[in-house]
Structure 1
């Protein structure tokens, strides 16, 4: 009923997929300046590591992408998070380092198809594909969706919160754990988004009248505004998971 296909083989789906999957993320997530130097090279070097999950009518249901890296399996050798994973993948490729690990960087299900198990389908399919391609380790810097309700709570604390059944309190972490993943470590500075005060007011649809610390819609932590310097800085925390 559903098929995982490389995005490079279905360019006719790019426009719809880009629109439908982008709506699941806050605007500020697309403004990590640390990603910019690697974005085009990632697309050039790893075209086979971006996927769509499509229905029988070729409608894109879910999408995901990732990068191959070399990782020695220890917490100490984990990348710093999302941006550092991208940098390691690109730099390692250029240095001819042989990868052994697939980093699942992002996954999304279109809003009108959520709640039907598609996230599990696409994660499982990509994980199995990576292992079949010789990348025996699969890890992910996960953005816990429920964390935005607790922006003042350290990510190290949030990742320990569980329900009475022992599963993570966060639903996105639960999805991964039910697929066999284990929580590895916090990534307190997975991404850094910066912009002018005007940028942040546009991205969040909030005014920031004075210098200070603000909670923002969909923010996993707080935003620091400096009116004199005309800057806003947000450092996004993630949680590292390892899939069996």
Structure 2
């Protein structure tokens, strides 16, 4: 039986939660905005939204959210910056001491051995319940479609048009949100931006970049390389889903 605890309830679960590993390839750990959302920072600032899922008292997944203000007069749409934008909004609101109204998921990771068992869906449900219990109105998620990496040159809009015979998305992670009753909101074209020198990219990926567009393992879109500027740029699109919360 899977049980769920927040770090506010059991702070000792932080270390085993971190030991579950990181999401994505090595290069994804070098998003500069992401430095604001290091797990230890989130655990210290918002422990009530850092959830750990245990199976027979063994951590098998974590689900982490950040509270923010949305919508309001200045924020009428979810940010095109996606994951990066959610983090920036949450930090801005914390510094400005604004009362949040929405929870955005920023990290949901299930160990490989426990995938396909409904744990990700349980984690999403738990985040939504925690948001509601804390007086928030909705859960939003900048979804990173896991199958998009097999189609790096395809625009996200075209990839999202792929469906199964029953009409659901071919992408398993998108499909998890659909089954949870979440509503597609928009594509976030600039959800994560990672820049580095060509040497840094070779270190991150294990292979040199060539001039122009490069397909990199684990990337949803190509990495653009400029030898003249000694620069590699990766801009990743994600997809916003909205999970309106109800009582009960």
TM-score by length of 1: 0.91
After superposition, give the CA deviation of every residue in 1:59-80 in whole Å (9 maximum; x if it has no partner): 1111111111111289942122
Alpha-carbon contact 1:42-1:90 (below 8 Å) kept: no
Alpha-carbon contact 2:20-2:61 (below 8 Å) kept: no
Could you say if the C-alpha distance between residues 156 and 232 of structure 1 is closer, same or farther in structure 2, counting changes exceeding 3 Å? same
Query: Residue 233 in 1 paired to residue 233 in 2?
Result: yes
- Indicate the SS of the match to 1:135: coil
User: 1:1-244 alignment to 2 at 5 Å?
Assistant: 1-22=1-22, 24-37=23-36, 39=38, 42-56=42-56, 58-72=57-71, 76-79=76-79, 80-208=81-209, 210-244=210-244
- Indicate the SS of the match to 2:213: strand
Give the distance between the partners of 1:132 and 1:172, measured in 2 at CA.
25
Report the alpha carbon displacement of residue 158 of structure 1 after superposing the two structures with TM.
1.9
Report the alpha carbon displacement of residue 226 of structure 1 after superposing the two structures with TM.
1.5
Could you say if the C-alpha distance between residues 8 and 229 of structure 1 is closer, same or farther in structure 2, counting changes exceeding 3 Å? farther
Instruction: Give the count of matched residue pairs.
Output: 241
After superposition, give the CA deviation of every residue in 1:43-95 in whole Å (9 maximum; x if it has no partner): 54322211110123x21111111111111289942122111111111111221
- Indicate the SS of the match to 1:104: strand
Report the alpha carbon displacement of residue 235 of structure 1 after superposing the two structures with TM.
0.6
Give the distance between the partners of 2:42 and 2:92, measured in 1 at CA.
10
Alpha-carbon contact 2:101-2:135 (below 8 Å) kept: yes
Report the alpha carbon displacement of residue 219 of structure 1 after superposing the two structures with TM.
0.7
Alpha-carbon contact 1:189-1:237 (below 8 Å) kept: yes
Could you say if the C-alpha distance between residues 117 and 41 of structure 1 is closer, same or farther in structure 2, counting changes exceeding 3 Å? closer
Give the distance between the partners of 1:69 and 1:159, measured in 2 at CA.
27
Give the distance between the partners of 1:160 and 1:237, measured in 2 at CA.
15
Could you say if the C-alpha distance between residues 109 and 201 of structure 1 is closer, same or farther in structure 2, counting changes exceeding 3 Å? same
Instruction: Give unmatched runs, 5+ long, in structure 1.
Output: none
Instruction: Give unmatched runs, 5+ long, in structure 2.
Output: none
Give the distance between the partners of 1:7 and 1:228, measured in 2 at CA.
47
Report the alpha carbon displacement of residue 11 of structure 1 after superposing the two structures with TM.
4.7
Which portions of structure 1, spanning 4 or more consecutive aligned residues, are displaced by more than 6 angstroms?
none
- Indicate the SS of the match to 1:147: helix
Alpha-carbon contact 2:49-2:130 (below 8 Å) kept: no
